[in-house]
Amino acid sequence: MTAIEWADKTWNPVVGCREVAEGCRNCYAARTAERLARIESARGLYEGLTHRVDGVPKWTGVARMIPARLSDPFSWRKPRRIFLASMSDVLHIGVKRSFLMAIFAVIAANPQHTFLLLTKRPGRLRRFMIARAPNDESAEELQRGSRVIGDDATEIDGACRDAAVDLGVDPHKLGAVPLASFWPPRNLWVGTSISSSEDLGAVRALQRTPVANNQRFLSAEPLLAPLVGLDLRGISWVIAGDESGPGRRRCKLDWIRSLKNQCVAEGVYFFFKQFHNGNGYKVSTPCLDGRPWTELPKEVAQ
C-alpha cells in the first residue's frame, strides 16, 4: 500500500532522477532514497543515486532500471490505482526506450489496474507515444487520440511484448499483449507536475500527448505560486497541495482556492491533497470552503 492519498500502490521499475524544475528542489523522493541507501537490504538499489549539496539530499542524475520489478503488477490481483513512479521519473533520459516499451506492455497486460504515470518530462512522453506509430498516417491518428488497428496495432503489440520478454517478463503472463485494441492503453492516465506559471510549457506538451479519453492530469504539488494563464483544455483531473519536509516553501491558500475554482468552472475533477495549517502541521485532504476536495475521475475511482 501507499500513503499517497490518490493512489493504492506505487510501482517503481526505475529509481533515481535529476532535478529539472524549481518544484524539484526539496524532492521527498531524494530524501527517501538517501535513507534507503543506508539500509542493507536496499543499498544495492539506492546507493549512488543521491549526494549532499549544502546539507540537502539531491539526486545525482542516475536513473537505475530494475527489470525484476517489471512483473510486480501481475502479483496484484485486486484492481488498484497504481502510481508510476514515486521514486523516479520513467521518462528520465537515462531510461532506455526498450524499457519504456516493456513498461507499456505490462500496463496493457493488466487491464484490471489503473496506472497513473506522472512525469516532469511530458515532451519525451509525447515523442514516445507518437513514435510507437509505425507510419506518419498512424502518428496523425494518435495525435487525435484515435484507435490504431490492423497491421499497425500488431506491430506495436509485438515490439512492446518482445521488449518485455527480453527483460525477463514471463511471456505466459503477457499473453497476447492487448495493445491492438487501443493505443494508447485505456487503463493509463498520464500527468505532469507543475509548481508555478513557469511550468505551463509542460502543460502544453501534455495536452499534445495522445491518450485515451482525455485521461490527462496535473499535479500542482508543491504549488509555489499562482498558476496565472493555466489552460485546462484536455485536462480531466488536477491534484494540488503545498510542500512538505525540511526547507518547506510557503503556499498560500488563495492559490489553491483559485485553482479549485477554475477546475469547478471548467468541469475538471479536483483533489486537494495536503496543506500545512497555521501551526505548521500537515493536514491530509483538508477542507476548503467548507468541504474536503477529494474528487477522482470515475475511471480512476472504480
The helix/strand/coil state of 263 is helix
Cross-strand partners of 274: 241, 284
Of 84, 86, 89, the C-alpha closest to 73 is 84
Q: Is 199 helix (H, G, I), strand (E, B) or coil?
A: helix
CA distance 59 to 65: 15
Bridge partners (DSSP) of residue 288 are 291
Model pTM? 0.91
- Using DSSP, state whether 28 is helix, strand or coil: helix
Give per-residue pLDDT as tens, 66-114.
999 999 999 999 999 999 999 999 999 999 999 999 999 999 999 999 9
Strand-pair partners of 291: 288
Q: Indicate if the pLDDT at residue 146 is higher than 80.
A: no
The pLDDT of residue 252: 96
Task: Please tell me the predicted confidence (pLDDT) of residue 182.
Answer: 67
SS (H, E, C) 125-190: HHHHHHHCCCCHHHHHHHHCCCCCCCHHHHHHHHHHHHHHHHCCCCHHHHCCCHHHHCCCCCCEEE
- The mean pLDDT of 138-166, rounded to a whole number, is 62
Q: Which residue has the higher pLDDT, 184 or 274?
A: 274
pLDDT band at 132 (very low <50, low <70, confident <90, very high): low
Residue-wise pLDDT for 252-286, tens only, equals 999 999 999 999 999 999 999 999 988 889 999 99
pLDDT digits 0-9 by tens, 185-212:
899 999 999 999 999 999 999 999 989 8
